[in-house]
Amino acid sequence: MISRDKHIFLFDLSFPQLQELIKSWGELVFRAKQVWEWTYKKLAGSFDEMSDVPKYLREKLKQEITFTHLTPHTDLLSSDGWTRKILFDLHDKSQVETVLMGYEERRTACISTQAGCGLGCTFCATGQAGLQRNITAGEIVEQVLFFDRVLQLKDAKLTNLVFMGMGEPFANYKEVMKAVDILTDPNGYNFGARRITISTVGLVPMIEQFAEEKRQVNLAVSLHAATNELRETMLPINKKYPLEVLIPACRDYTVKTHRRISFEWALINNVNDTREQAKLLVKILKGMLCHVNFIPLNPTIGYKGQESTRENIRKFREILTKNGIPNTLRIRRGIDIHAGCGQLRQEAARRNKILHT
């Protein structure tokens, strides 16, 4: 049942919910199909664009359903033109960041799954600011469509989606999975599940649930350290789910799904880029169907660590490669527009403070 006390948001509706709603107005069900296709196939920017829906029905849709929750607050393009980042105001003034990255044939959107994050990883700008609220499936979906509409104007489209913006996707599991279901609906937006990646800080019960669901969506786990001692100084959640429960859960995931798991590792100078950490990492990942993604630390206001030197990165990766652990060094994009997780909101808040004090 759709709640009638709150205003309904279009992108929160699954197709059956949209059908139910339109039917409850005494309309033929195929109208729901029309609206769904305008929304997800033709990427309409308003109900008015839905030209084969009768005018009276478009008016009713406008009255009953909110078309957008996202209002751009800050919109930045990197100097190389390849990265665009938008800080959106939601209708209640909480905020999310969404980044579009272009690289050769790829157009990747980095989507937020919460407004802020309550998990407090020390080096993360989002974690430094705390949680505002969970966002809804529709607020996740709208971030994606917003960028795809922009790309459509240039005859391009999104090729990849990563849930690596603000927030912990597995702390908002239900809404994130509903968004995935809406985005991958073959009769609608039809985005390939294999081109979606969800990144988690390591909420073990949700990793287990995700493994059971056997979705085609890729899973990445933010590891960043190979000992509990170090990991819990960076990611407080490690106290609740230490490596001895996290790593077996990751292994089980690969066994159950036959899918490769990715590990994220932000390289921080003389913190987690040592020979000792590399060797321990090899030990814990040995034999697992996995891949390690390295990224040099993005500097943030609240964390003193620096990115690793090239030499340290080279040596660290060499140890992994020699031991048969596939790994990639990701390029950091859009530094000049604060494109790291949560950084634009941090910068906007800092400027605000400067302006208002």
Among 124, 141, 249, 339, binds ligand SAH (CB under 6 A): 124
Please count the helices (runs of H) and the strands (runs of E) in the chain.
Answer: 12, 14
| Site for ligand SF4 contains 127 (CB under 6 A) | yes
Q: Is 119 an interacting residue with respect to ligand SF4 (CB under 6 A)?
A: yes
Q: Which amino acid appears at position 190 of this protein?
A: N
Taking the complex as a whole, the smallest distance from the CB of residue 119 to ligand SAH amounts, in Å, to 7
Residues 297-326 that bind ligand SF4 (CB under 6 A): none
Among 12, 97, 168, 175, binds ligand SAH (CB under 6 A): 168
- Give Dmax over CA atoms of the chain in angstroms: 69
CB of 218 to ligand SAH, least distance (A): 13
Which of 168, 175, 273, 347 touches ligand SF4 (CB under 6 A)?
A: 168
- Angle, CA of 323, 327 and 331, to the nearest 5°: 150
Residue 131 as a binder of ligand SF4 (CB under 6 A): the answer is: no
Q: What is the DSSP letter of 323?
A: T
Query: How does DSSP assign 252-301, residue by residue?
Result: HHHHHH---EEEEEEEBTTTT-SHHHHHHHHHHHTT-SEEEEEEEPPP-T
Q: How far apart are CA 340 and CA 173, in angstroms?
A: 23
**Can you tell me the distance from the alpha carbon of 226 to that of 279, in angstroms, rounded to the nearest whole number?**
9
- Asked if 250 is an active-site residue, the reply is no
Q: Quick one: 58 or 260, whose CB is closer to ligand SAH?
A: 260
Q: Which of 35, 131, 201, 211 binds ligand SAH (CB under 6 A)?
A: 201
The answer to the question of residue 346 lying near ligand SAH (CB under 6 A) is no
- Positions touching ligand SAH (CB under 6 A) are 121, 123-124, 164, 168, 199-201, 222, 264, 266, 295, 297-298, 300, 340-341
